[in-house]
Amino acid sequence: MPRLQRGRIDESTVDALPVEDREVVFWDLELRGFGVRVYPSGGKVYIVQGRSGGKSKRYTIGRHGVVTAEEARSKAVMTVAAIKAGEEPQLSPSGWVVGPPREKSGLSAVDGLPNSIHRDILTSLVRRYDCPVMNNVHRAEYLECLVAEFLGAGWSLPWQSGYDWAPWDIEHISGARIEIKQSAALQPWHAGNQTRTRSPRFDIAPRKGFWTRAGVWAEGPGRPADLYVFAWHGEESASVADHRAIHQWRFFVVPTHRLPAEQHSIGRPGLKELADDVGYEALRFTVNRAVADLQPRSTGT
């Protein structure tokens, strides 16, 4: 069980909360049910809980650094009120706030683009991802979404919270970061008996730095992600291969610290020396086990 602490929650207090080797929950002294969960990985997440009908319910508001302490407090007040009224709070299981239903596209003929054209454009874009054999760019984006879905609650894609330029692909509310690298034997340009890709190389080159969520350049060589998930789609038959089919993929889950420090790429033989490949059925367990073993990392980036 997480260790419990109490105090007033504000930006400076949360910034100063220490990271320990186990989870710690810091409860607010002024607003009952409002707290911050501090993970061993360094992530700090605002939470809220309340009791209704004799049952206690807990929800995740969002991660510190994405949501401010005052924003979290305001959402906590509304959530506690909703729970007491027997209503379902407007928070999703993954922790991101769910707003009211969006209205239909505001694009109109006055804007120079009728709704019908906008819908046709979206249909065309979706079609590029809804095909058995995708090109490298679309396959990478599709697989990131696919893996995030299979990892489940608590995991999300950084662009969903406005961090489009994140140097990692999937993140957890605890602060853990995953970079996805993928390749496939069958490519769109393969035809007939043309040789398939059988010896892929995955990019693992260290970076010189990266732009943080706040738009600040973080200097320093290294790999910003905590874990790498290397995905390989080895089906070569054009009549069988389907990049959308999760069961056709194999995954190597490798903690970043185990990758060769100065190496810029790695192949499947090298990966097999670092980890066993797993199917999608074991992917969530393998990732969660690796996350549990992560060393604490400083927040702010």
Q: 284 and 147, same structural domain?
A: yes
Q: 264 and 178, same structural domain?
A: yes
Q: 161 and 61, same structural domain?
A: no
Q: Is residue 115 part of a domain?
A: no
Mean pLDDT in consecutive groups of 10 residues from the start of the chain, 301 residues: 68 90 88 89 87 77 85 84 72 41 45 68 87 93 93 90 92 94 90 67 93 87 95 93 94 97 94 96 94 69 51
Q: 186 and 71, same structural domain?
A: no
| Best CA proximity match to 256, nearest among 176, 144, 143 | 176
From 29, 55, 84, give the residue that closes a domain: 84
From 28, 53, 84, give the residue that closes a domain: 84
Q: Is residue 198 part of a domain?
A: yes
Q: Is residue 99 part of a domain?
A: no
For residue 39, the enclosing domain spans: 3-84
Residues 19, 37: Cα–Cα separation, whole Å: 10
Q: What is the pLDDT at residue 64? A: 87
Q: 171 and 77, same structural domain?
A: no
Number of domains in the chain: 2
For 197-234, give one letter per residue: b (16+ CB within 10 A) or e: beebebebeeeeebebbeeeeeeeeebbbbbbbbbbbb
Residues 185, 241: Cα–Cα separation, whole Å: 9
Q: 154 and 281, same structural domain?
A: yes
Q: Is residue 245 part of a domain?
A: yes
Q: 223 and 143, same structural domain?
A: yes
Q: SS3 string of 204-237?
A: CCCEEEEECCCCCEEEEEECCCCEEEEEEECCCC
Q: What is the pLDDT of residues 175-220, one digit of tens each?
A: 999 999 999 999 888 755 556 667 899 999 999 999 898 888 888 8
Q: 175 and 270, same structural domain?
A: yes
For residue 130, what are its two tokens? Answer: 């809804």
Q: What is the pLDDT of residues 22-61, one digit of tens each?
A: 888 999 988 888 999 998 888 899 999 887 767 777 888 8
Q: Is residue 223 part of a domain?
A: yes
**150 neighbors 157 (Cβ within 8 angstroms):** no
Half-sphere exposure in the Cβ direction for 176 (13 Å, CA)? 24
Q: Is residue 100 part of a domain?
A: no
Q: What is the pLDDT at residue 297? A: 58
Q: Is residue 26 part of a domain?
A: yes
Q: 80 and 20, same structural domain?
A: yes
Q: In CATH, what number is assigned to the domain containing residue 34?
A: 3.30.160.390
Q: Is residue 65 part of a domain?
A: yes
Sign of CA dihedral 255, 250, 167, 71: negative
Q: Beta-carbon neighbour count of residue 170 at 10 Å?
A: 23
Q: What is the pLDDT at residue 123? A: 84
- In order of 112, 125, 135, the CA distances from 121 in angstroms are 14, 6, 19
Q: 288 and 159, same structural domain?
A: yes
Q: 283 and 162, same structural domain?
A: yes
The residues that bridge with 24 in the sheet, in sequence order, are 3, 38
- In order of 137, 171, 200, 258, 261, the CA distances from 182 in angstroms are 10, 17, 9, 18, 20
Q: 210 and 153, same structural domain?
A: yes
Q: What is the pLDDT at residue 119? A: 78
**225 neighbors 231 (Cβ within 8 angstroms):** no
From 61, 84, 107, give the residue that closes a domain: 84
